[in-house]
């Protein structure tokens, strides 16, 4: 059994959905579980309609929803020939959109928008796209079953970034999905969405469909977890920033986890963990060019002598500098700093210490004021906003001399705010001003990949 996750651009219109059906049909013998994202842009539109309603612009919010309804109708009309099926789908979508309009009316009246309401609204995108695809697969004569992911993707109640309850999911997935797999039915379900113990809709956070796919794959001991997207695989950098980026044929779980965590959007940051637990290969593939072999992410890829494999980056980082001459060398100082971040559930990404200060990076600032207030009770605190992290990744970095030199050489003219060697020693991360991130990535890419070594590891984008 394999899991096949298709992202938003892979189901953006009828033509793309048709391609998806062909890809799924070819894998029929492996009884695929198809995990779907919303059609591209749908989640953004849904969230925007909720925010517009909260601002009191109900009519505008409803116009956004109407536009989204029309887009879905266009997709199904161009995809499914059977008129009766289309009419039934339209009737059910009308009901869903009426519910959405009611939610927006409530939000507009209260002027209040909770993460719980945001999840209720955002989840509809995946429900709609998956319903269309399931009907389309069926109308092409394949046996397919639409399954509501909320029946098995059980999570806690942290709306907008819910934490999966793995044991429960294992149980429910086996109970609900295994009989369908045994019957050779293609399962079509949603990524991104789940439900808490009361059955209320939750989501795993933006981009969470990749994570859903690997959770499902791990729960059912899949042979492979396929992530179908709009690029050939995991590349040496984001091709939108470095147009010369090349595809990596194979990388390790650890490398992929670091890249995803530090901003390589091609994988949700948590995707790798469930796969690692069961040692299931994750394969990133391009739905626009299904013949391409993609990138295989495995526990132990063959060793290469290539130190740097890829460069990731993220923006919107805040650096918190904590200084206390009195306490720096004192026992428990770091613990007291981290306990403040823990208390406010704010993950710290990078840490660097000097003789007189500790610098940390965070990417969510919701509770920053409270954090500063508590830290200020025992230390001096200063904040640097609008920073970016660049992360250079490769599992041979630790055993290759001169990589840091090359990094600093490429970034001679860039002011480095923080430098950290990852604990895993397979990455080096740099904090720089947000506005310099793109240029820095391009320079590093040029430094490490301008003359790509002659090895099987890399492949030009667009190759076989
Ligand atoms: P999907 O909708 O299929 O989930 P995403 O937009 O979430 O797709 O992720 C794919 C995008 O990730 C690519 O279009 C690319 O711009 C971006 N990306 C960032 N870093 C990388 C990388 N190292 N390799 C490949 N793609 C990357
Ligand atoms: N549709 C959701 C989003 O846009 C989840 C996903 O596509 O992975 O964030
Ligand atoms: Mg994505």
pLDDT of 324 > 90? The answer is no
Sign of the alpha-carbon dihedral angle for 222, 283, 202, 79: negative
pLDDT of residue 357: 86
Distance 53 CA to ligand 1 centre (A): 30
Distance 409 CA to ligand 3 centre (A): 33
pLDDT of residue 422: 64
Average pLDDT over residues 159-171: 98
Question: Best of 6, 47, 123, 208 to mutate for ligand 2, by most ligand atoms within 8 A of CB?
Answer: 208
Q: What is the number of the ligand 1 atom nearest to the C-alpha of 210?
A: 4
Distance 231 CA to ligand 1 centre (A): 7
Ligand nearest to the CA of 268: 3
Distance 268 CA to ligand 1 centre (A): 10
pLDDT of residue 328: 64
pLDDT of 85 > 80? The answer is yes
Say how far apart CA 292 and CA 284 lie, in whole Å. Answer: 10
User: What is the pTM assigned to this prediction?
Assistant: 0.96
Question: Best of 9, 11, 37, 162 to mutate for ligand 2, by most ligand atoms within 8 A of CB?
Answer: 37
- Please tell me whether residue 435 adopts helix, strand or coil conformation: helix
pLDDT of residue 17: 98
pLDDT tier at 460, thresholds 50, 70, 90: confident
Q: Are 101 and 108 in contact, with CB atoms under 8 Å apart?
A: no
Strand partners, 34: 4, 188
In SS3 terms, 304-349 reads as CCCCCCEEEEEEEEEEEEEECCCCCCCCCHHHHHHHHHHHCCCCCC
Reported as a single tens digit per residue, the pLDDT across 330-356 is 778 889 999 999 999 999 999 998 767
Distance 263 CA to ligand 3 centre (A): 11
pLDDT tier at 452, thresholds 50, 70, 90: confident
pLDDT of residue 189: 98
pLDDT of 209 > 90? The answer is yes
Distance 208 CA to ligand 3 centre (A): 7
Say how far apart CA 416 and CA 411 lie, in whole Å. Answer: 8
Token match 């009766």: residue?
Answer: 84
Q: Give residues (CB < 6 A) around ligand 2.
A: 7-8, 37-38, 43, 125, 191-192, 206-209
DSSP code per residue over 155-186: B-S-TTSPPB-HHHHHHHHHHHHHHHHHTTPE
Name the phi and psi angles at 234, rounded to 5: -85, 125
**Closest of 319, 448, 351, 350 to residue 393, by C-alpha:** 448
Superfamily (CATH H level) for 310-451: VC0802-like (3.30.2130.10)
Q: How far is C-alpha 334 from the geometric centre of its chain's CA atoms?
A: 31
Helices within 80-123 (DSSP H only)? 83-110, 115-122
Say how far apart CA 449 and CA 143 lie, in whole Å. Answer: 46
pLDDT of residue 325: 77
Strand partners, 297: 251, 282
Distance 42 CA to ligand 2 centre (A): 9
- Reply yes or no on domain 2-230 having CATH 3.40.1160.10: yes
Residues of the chain with CATH 3.40.1160.10: 2-230
- Please tell me whether residue 293 adopts helix, strand or coil conformation: coil
For 17, the enclosing helix (H) or strand (E) is: helix 14-26
pLDDT tier at 399, thresholds 50, 70, 90: confident
Distance 7 CA to ligand 2 centre (A): 7
pLDDT tier at 169, thresholds 50, 70, 90: very high
Which residue, judged by its Cα, is nearest atom 5 of ligand 2? 207
Average pLDDT over residues 362-376: 95
**Closest of 2, 67, 62 to residue 39, by C-alpha:** 67
pLDDT of residue 61: 98
Q: Are strands 2-6 and 282-286 parallel, antiparallel or unpaired?
A: unpaired
**423 CB neighbour count, 10 Å cutoff:** 8
**Closest of 375, 414, 407, 377 to residue 392, by C-alpha:** 407
pLDDT of residue 332: 83
Q: How far is C-alpha 418 from the geometric centre of its chain's CA atoms?
A: 25
What proportion of the chain, given as a percentage, has pLDDT over 70? Answer: 98
Question: Best of 9, 36, 46, 191 to mutate for ligand 2, by most ligand atoms within 8 A of CB?
Answer: 191
- Please tell me whether residue 1 adopts helix, strand or coil conformation: coil
Q: Are 225 and 440 in contact, with CB atoms under 8 Å apart?
A: no
Reported as a single tens digit per residue, the pLDDT across 259-316 is 999 999 999 999 999 999 999 999 999 999 999 999 999 999 998 889 999 999 999 9
Ligand nearest to the CA of 294: 1
Q: Which two tokens stand for residue 400?
A: 């290759």
Residue 186's alpha-carbon distances to 5, 7, 370, in angstroms, are 13, 18, 49
| Average pLDDT for the chain | 95
Residues of the chain with CATH 3.30.2130.10: 310-451
Which residue, judged by its Cα, is nearest atom 8 of ligand 2? 207
Average pLDDT over residues 14-18: 97
Average pLDDT over residues 111-118: 97
Average pLDDT over residues 109-129: 97
What proportion of the chain, given as a percentage, has pLDDT over 90? Answer: 88
Q: Give residues (CB < 6 A) around ligand 1.
A: 7-10, 37, 207, 229-231, 234-235, 237-240, 259, 264-266, 310
pLDDT of 454 > 70? The answer is no
Q: What is the number of the ligand 2 atom nearest to the C-alpha of 37?
A: 7
Q: Which two tokens stand for residue 308?
A: 């740097």
């Amino acid at each position: 059994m394999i899991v096949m996750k298709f992202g938003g651009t892979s189901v953006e219109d009828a033509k793309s959905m048709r391609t998806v059906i062909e890809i799924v049909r070819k894998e029929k013998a492996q009884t695929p579980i198809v995990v779907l994202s919303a059609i591209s842009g749908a989640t953004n539109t849904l969230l925007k309609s909720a925010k517009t309603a909260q601002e009191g612009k109900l009519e505008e919010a409803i116009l956004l929803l109407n536009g989204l309804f029309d887009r879905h109708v266009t997709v199904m009309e161009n995809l499914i020939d059977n008129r009766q099926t289309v009419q039934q789908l339209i009737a059910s979508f009308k009901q869903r959109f009426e519910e959405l309009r009611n939610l927006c009316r409530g939000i507009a009246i209260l002027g209040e928008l909770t993460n719980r309401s945001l999840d209720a609204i955002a989840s509809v995108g995946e429900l709609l796209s998956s319903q269309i695809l399931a009907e389309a697969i069926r109308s092409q004569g394949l046996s397919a079953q639409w399954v509501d992911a909320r029946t098995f993707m059980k999570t806690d109640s942290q709306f907008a970034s819910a934490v999966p309850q793995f044991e429960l999911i294992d149980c429910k997935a086996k109970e609900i999905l295994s009989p369908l797999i045994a019957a050779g039915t293609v399962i079509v379900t949603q990524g991104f969405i789940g439900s808490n113990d009361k059955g209320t809709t939750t989501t795993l956070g933006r981009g969470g469909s990749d994570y859903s796919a690997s959770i499902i794959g791990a729960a059912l001991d899949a042979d492979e977890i396929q992530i179908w997207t709009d690029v050939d695989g995991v590349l040496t950098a984001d091709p939108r920033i470095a147009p010369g980026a090349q595809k990596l044929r194979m990388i390790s779980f650890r490398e992929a986890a670091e890249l995803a965590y530090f901003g390589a959007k091609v994988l949700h940051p948590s995707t790798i963990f469930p796969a690692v637990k069961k040692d299931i290969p994750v394969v990133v593939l391009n739905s626009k060019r299904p013949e391409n072999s993609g990138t295989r992410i495995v526990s132990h890829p063959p060793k290469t002598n290539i130190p740097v494999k890829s460069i990731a980056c993220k923006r919107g980082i805040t650096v918190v500098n904590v200084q206390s001459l009195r306490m720096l060398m004192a026992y428990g100082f770091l613990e007291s700093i981290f306990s403040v971040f823990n208390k406010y559930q704010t993950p710290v990404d990078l840490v660097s210490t000097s003789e007189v200060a500790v610098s940390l990076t965070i990417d969510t600032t919701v509770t920053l004021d409270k954090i500063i207030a508590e830290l200020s009770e025992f230390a001096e605190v200063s904040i640097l906003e609008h920073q970016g992290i660049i992360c250079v990744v490769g599992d041979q970095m630790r055993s290759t001399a001169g990589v840091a030199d090359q990094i600093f050489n490429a970034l001679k003219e860039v002011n480095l705010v923080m430098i950290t060697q990852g604990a895993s020693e397979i990455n080096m991360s740099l904090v720089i001003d947000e506005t310099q991130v793109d240029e820095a990535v391009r320079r590093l890419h040029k430094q490490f990949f301008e003359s790509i070594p002659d090895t099987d590891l890399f492949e030009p984008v667009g190759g076989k």
